[in-house]
Structure 1
């Protein structure tokens, strides 16, 4: 089991093309931890904004009567992938990992696999 800081460091070091990562509470929109980012990628702002994405998808699923859970949400831009992975482990209810990747350097399938592994080891 790993803590937040260890999980964020693991994501940045083991996922090729990682630009930044955050652990986010989608109830409040607050980032519980961030690592990486840039002057043009403020992870705290992105974390708060992406809580709206998660909430909207959860509302849509409820309105459609879907009895399923979100594994992850992928947003593709010209130069970046934004990957949102909802936590399902112990203490993870209401939290998600938010990962920003450089499309030129990242392998999306491997990034999803690594993020899934990191999420399974994270204890909040």
Structure 2
């Protein structure tokens, strides 16, 4: 599945407000969908790159021999879900913003895991 199709699939997840595929090596979004005036996905992608990098440094500092599956940031009205892609040799994550009132977090995580296995870059 290509980037555009994967992002469209992510937007089909209940409560989705926006999605991006991000290279955390560069901080650049390879593709975005949704968002809008109140949700700048380019800016959010760059900011969440720092979150991912920081967590990876922390794991290395602790000497943990493990991988990050996803990172959840819970806001008053939104969930921000960051899913690192392990099927790719590059440094990518899928970023999904959900409306808390309309989203099923467990189902959203399940769907992102499924997309991870199908995406090709």
Which sections of structure 2, spanning at least 5 residues, go unmatched? none
- Structure 1 position 33, deviation (Å): 0.0
Unaligned runs of 5+ in 1: none
Matched, 1:110 2:107: yes
Counterpart in 2 of 1:77? Answer: 75
The question of 1:28 aligning with 2:16 is answered no
- In the alignment, the residues of structure 2 paired with residue 19 and residue 31 of structure 1 have an alpha-carbon distance, to the nearest angstrom, of 16
- TM-score of the superposition, structure 2-length normalised? 0.98
Shift of 1:90: 3.5
The answer to whether structure 1 residue 60 and structure 2 residue 58 are counterparts is yes
Q: Output the TM-score relative to the length of structure 1.
A: 0.96
- What is the RMSD of the two structures over their aligned residues, measured on CA atoms? 0.7
- SS of the aligned residue for 2:50 comes to helix
Shift of 1:38: 1.7
Equivalent pairs counted in the alignment come to 121
- SS of the residue corresponding to residue 111 of structure 1 reads helix
